[in-house]
Structure 1
Amino acid sequence: MRTDEPSVPAGFWMPTEREARLLVQRAGGTPAFVYGRAALRAAVDRVRAASVSGAELYYSLKANPHPGVVTALASLVDGFDVCSTAELETALNAGMPAAKVLFTGPAKTRSEAAAALAAGVAVTVESPGQARLFAEVADGLGVAGRAVVRLNTPYPGRTPGSAPSPNQFGVAAEDLAEVVDVLRDSALSVDGLHLFFGSQYADAGVIGAARRAALERARDVEERFGLKLGLVSVGGGIALPWCAADPDVDWAGLEAASDEPQAWGDDGDRTVVCEYGRAIAGPAGVLLTTVLDVKTVGDRRYVVVDAGLNHLFVAGRLVAGGGRGEPLVRAVGPGRPGAPERAYVTGPLCSQLDVLAEDVPLPQVAAGDTLMFLGVGAYGPTFSPSGFLSRDKAGEIVH
């Protein structure tokens, strides 16, 4: 039985013992998420080097919309991707120009369409009905708008040769002509195409092939419909290896292949966008949590902490189960006397699902000690059922 801790992926921020203890005090106690500015900067540099050469980098706020994180990233990335009016306001308040904000999402209400068009940001169009909605709203507001048509793109398999998977996003090929006609008859210009190919890919060959296919498809659409596109978003797709069983990202392969899909166009009027969320925010976040109790039931050691799936849903059994392996959890400090042992880290909720880490190596700990989960800067509080059992929310600070 292994009792050694799995290695920390390159780029993941891990505060020192002193830093962690001071951050707990600064946050007013635990549970608390802490996001590191230096780690955010390093993550941006890393994904930029692994992106299409010359592409602009957009951050997707759905991964982590904390205002401090978004403000820190506003000067590091080239634009923001938002999926709600709340995210739209966060992006604009962080200082990102409206011309560099893209409002996405498979369904948009009339009020969301109005807010986006009134703010002057570009909007994705994902169906003929959505095209008509934006056309009507733009006409009612008396404003022009920039439409980026999202094309339905089956998600490629995780490894070369594996089968793609269908999804509900974007305009079906048979509906594209109708969407273009509706937009041409409206106050909106067809400014670009959005070809997102999925998330959590580690294989450089799969990512590179998806990028090339996206650019080839964009060129075909532009020629077929006589469009003059200003922007083509080819998504991001780079994985966050949060559990021990997750494959490592082939960063070297991505950097070596970054020049293969050449930048879109050669006249300076077109822009390729690579869009990332978890690959930027994920490595920069840690969750600090206090041990409330330690007990043994049968042959299992349970370490009960004050953080639960209501704070970190991605660690719960509903999401992280299925053999993904050991989440990256560490004790703050060297631990207490005694050899490390395997443990189950569980939360305070009255639910059998509230297991944050199953059968992971931990040093000896006791009530009052602090643990930290690494690589949790993405899909944390806003992805979690924070209202469950009406318990307190976790704190969040940027360091």
Structure 2
Amino acid sequence: MKAHDTLTPFEQEQHQLKIGNKTLSQIEMLVGSTPYYAYDRAILSKTVSSLKEALPERISLHYAIKANPYPPLVNFMRPLVSGFDVASAKEMLLAIQSGMSPNEISFAGPGKTEDDIRAAIVAGITLHAESTTEIQRAVDIGKQLSIKPNIAIRINPAFELKASGMKMAGGAKPFGIDEEQIPSILAELDYQMLNFRGFHIYAGSQNLKIEAIIEMHQKTFALAERLISITPVQIDYINIGGGLGIPYFAGETRLNLAPVADNLATLIAQHSSLCDIELIMELGRYLVGEAGVYVSKVVDIKASRETTYAVCDGGLHHHLANSGNFGQVIRKNYPVAVGNKMDLQNADTETVTVVGPLCTPLDIIADKVQLPALEIGDYIAVYQSGAYGASASPQSFLSQPELSEILL
């Protein structure tokens, strides 16, 4: 699959791929060398605005910083969304320093330390508590600081998001508190010692199945209504999670938002108990994944028996997900192109395996793909690389040169 044919919103400048208003060679001059990630502001803006136009007005959109914590990108996203979700104290500081209101920042994750909780309480953000121990720690630390902690409870629902890339709910999970435990917890909470803000119901991620997403939302709203009915105080919000996927592999297409949005509108109308409560959709990959390209350069071409290898200066240490070692059971290629030969993508091609510089057979950029005849110095562009790229990769592995990032 060649991404420029079916997936990518990036432009071409004659024969070179163009990101923002710069070609790949111009970007290399800006950052100093390959490999690099380049992110397109216009695509980020268009993705967010298109989603807002599709979704019911009642839905507030939050960005999960874990998908891409590159500071310029986070700062760019701040005015585009209504809030941030963070997964560490470092991400929390990044969110606060972007100018986002602490009231619109939530902190999720099952392993928050006492220092994390203390920092969150001082900052005034909301802790998405994932255990009764965490709730008690927050209350105790709040007493020490004479500050009421802002707390919401992350729920591990009994249902899961079917066909999701990562199942985050249903059955035994380290995330959240099982929904059947919630009634007794709500009955025992001392609401004088905390600001109880709501619930986070997150069932799964990276889903392209409309029916599965609709079913998840139906079950999420039903659960939210039950939770509200047994909560003795007024809550501020329900975070319904995300789950919306983007296409990566051959045969996948972009998610049709219309039926998802129509179903949400129906659910909002049906569940009157939610009429005075903010409804948050928290997304990461969906907002930023298609706005990024990972670029490396061919440094050698060699033949080994029946296979032609193009060896690049970047690989799995920069883009672990693309290598197939970040959740794939059977490795599949991300969409790739020869970034300086865009006019030749549909011309005569050859079968080539593109690899990185590391001394491991796991370092694969693209396996047995059809590309225009490669030469040393060509740019290999990997699309759909805006999420879980640089920050999700072992950049220190084998002490290779550092990676660059740029927002254009």
- Indicate whether 1:331 and 2:335 are aligned: no
Aligned pair count reads 393
Per-residue deviation, 1:46: 2.9
- Indicate whether 1:239 and 2:281 are aligned: no
Per-residue deviation, 1:6: 5.4
* 2:181 equivalent among 175, 181, 198: 175
**Shift in alpha-carbon separation, 1:99–1:321, aligned structure 2, 3 A:** closer
Query: What is the 5 A alignment of 1:121-270?
Result: 121-153=125-157, 154-158=159-163, 166=171, 167-181=173-187, 183-184=189-190, 187-246=193-252, 248-262=254-268, 269-270=276-277
Per-residue deviation, 1:104: 0.8
Per-residue deviation, 1:298: 1.8
Name 2:359's counterpart in structure 1: 350
Normalising by the residue count of structure 2, what TM-score does the alignment of the two structures yield? 0.89
CA distance in 1, matches of 2:219, 2:150: 24
For residue 302 of structure 1, what is the amino acid of its counterpart? Y
- Indicate whether 1:86 and 2:95 are aligned: no
Deviation per residue, 1:173-219 (Å, 9 max, x gap) = 34324433554255212210000111011122211221221122111
Greater shift in the superposed pair: 322-331 or 306-315: 322-331
* 2:298 equivalent among 288, 291, 301: 291
SS in 2 for 1:96: coil
Aligned-pair RMSD on alpha carbons? Answer: 2.4
* 1:309 equivalent among 296, 306, 316: 316
**Shift in alpha-carbon separation, 1:359–1:322, aligned structure 2, 3 A:** farther
SS in 1 for 2:38: strand
Per-residue deviation, 1:122: 0.8
Q: Is the 8 A contact 1:232 1:272 kept in 2?
A: yes
- Of all paired residues, the percent bearing the same amino acid is 27
For residue 194 of structure 1, what is the amino acid of its counterpart? H
For residue 27 of structure 1, what is the amino acid of its counterpart? V
Per-residue deviation, 1:370: 1.0
SS in 1 for 2:29: helix
Name 2:374's counterpart in structure 1: 365
Name 1:280's counterpart in structure 2: 287
SS in 2 for 1:262: helix
- Indicate whether 1:5 and 2:2 are aligned: yes
SS in 2 for 1:113: helix
CA distance in 2, matches of 1:248, 1:20: 26
CA distance in 1, matches of 2:394, 2:35: 15
CA distance in 1, matches of 2:295, 2:314: 8
Greater shift in the superposed pair: 240-249 or 195-204: 240-249
Structure 1, gaps ≥5 residues long? none
* 2:395 equivalent among 383, 386, 390: 386
Per-residue deviation, 1:269: 4.0
Q: Is the 8 A contact 2:4 2:337 kept in 1?
A: no
**Shift in alpha-carbon separation, 1:130–1:330, aligned structure 2, 3 A:** same
Q: Is the 8 A contact 2:334 2:384 kept in 1?
A: no
Deviation per residue, 1:287-323 (Å, 9 max, x gap) = 1111111112122121111111000000113237544
SS in 1 for 2:63: strand
CA distance in 2, matches of 1:11, 1:45: 17
Per-residue deviation, 1:80: 0.1
**Shift in alpha-carbon separation, 1:73–1:350, aligned structure 2, 3 A:** same
Greater shift in the superposed pair: 16-25 or 101-110: 16-25
SS in 2 for 1:57: strand
For residue 132 of structure 1, what is the amino acid of its counterpart? Q
Per-residue deviation, 1:266: 7.3
SS in 2 for 1:184: coil
SS in 2 for 1:43: helix
Per-residue deviation, 1:42: 1.1
CA distance in 2, matches of 1:51, 1:255: 5
Name 1:111's counterpart in structure 2: 115
CA distance in 2, matches of 1:173, 1:257: 24
CA distance in 1, matches of 2:188, 2:402: 45
**Shift in alpha-carbon separation, 1:321–1:34, aligned structure 2, 3 A:** same
